């Protein structure tokens, strides 16, 4: 049996709960928070896939913002630049899942890393806000290859 040399995790939806923006969405748009978070995430993923297929890379922060603006428009939610900025800040500081810290502590002693679609700035912000600086030896962004997962170049 092979010895595990390292663990590499995705960030969004694995370490960090992308729906932890729900409270902020609900506060800004009462009665629409859940719909907004679901459509925002769906459109964010679609945009990464389409950008990679078209060979037109855009920073994940911009894609996340564009997906949010689209979702607000699709749901007919009147929004201000300040509201968009607040939601983007909330996204950059997503909460980790409740069991993440314990799981990472269990793996202490074996190098752990993140490989994510997130931009370096967004990942740095999420890792810092969760207090995970010491838990990951490397935080890798697809920004280095300018293509989004699941393109094979992102794993190479």
CATH number at residue 48: 1.10.150.240
**pLDDT the model gives residue 2:** 83
Residue 2 placed within a domain: no
Total number of domains in the chain: 1
Beta strands in 5-101, from DSSP E residues, in sequence order: 7-9
Q: Give the residue numbers spanning the domain of 66.
A: 7-155
Residue 1 placed within a domain: no
Residue carrying structure tokens 């709960």: 17
**Can you list the residues of the chain whose pLDDT is less than 50?**
none
How does pLDDT run across 78-99, given as a tens digit for each residue?
999 999 999 999 999 999 999 9
Residue 26 placed within a domain: yes
**pLDDT the model gives residue 69:** 98
How does pLDDT run across 56-69, given as a tens digit for each residue?
999 999 999 999 99
pTM of the full structure: 0.92
Tokens of 59: 């920073």
Which helix (H) or strand (E) covers residue 140, if one does? strand 138-141
Residue 68 placed within a domain: yes
Q: Would you name the residues annotated as active-site residues?
A: 10
Q: Alpha carbon of 33 to those of 89, 96, 98, 116, 154: distances in Å?
A: 16, 19, 21, 25, 32
**pLDDT the model gives residue 86:** 98
């Amino acid at each position: 049996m092979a010895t595990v040399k390292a663990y590499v995790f995705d960030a969004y939806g694995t370490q960090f709960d992308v729906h932890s923006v729900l409270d902020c969405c609900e506060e800004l748009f009462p009665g629409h928070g859940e719909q907004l978070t679901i459509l925002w995430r769906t459109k964010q993923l679609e945009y990464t896939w389409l950008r990679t297929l078209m060979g037109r890379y855009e920073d994940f922060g911009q894609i996340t913002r564009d997906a949010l603006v689209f979702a607000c428009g699709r749901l007919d939610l009147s929004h201000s630049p300040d509201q968009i900025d607040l939601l983007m800040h909330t996204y950059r500081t997503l909460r980790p899942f409740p069991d993440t810290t314990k799981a990472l502590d269990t793996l202490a002693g074996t190098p752990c890393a993140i490989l994510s679609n997130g931009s370096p700035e967004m990942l740095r912000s999420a890792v810092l806000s969760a207090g995970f600086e010491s838990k990951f030896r490397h935080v890798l962004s697809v920004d280095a290859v300018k293509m989004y997962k699941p393109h094979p170049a992102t794993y190479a």
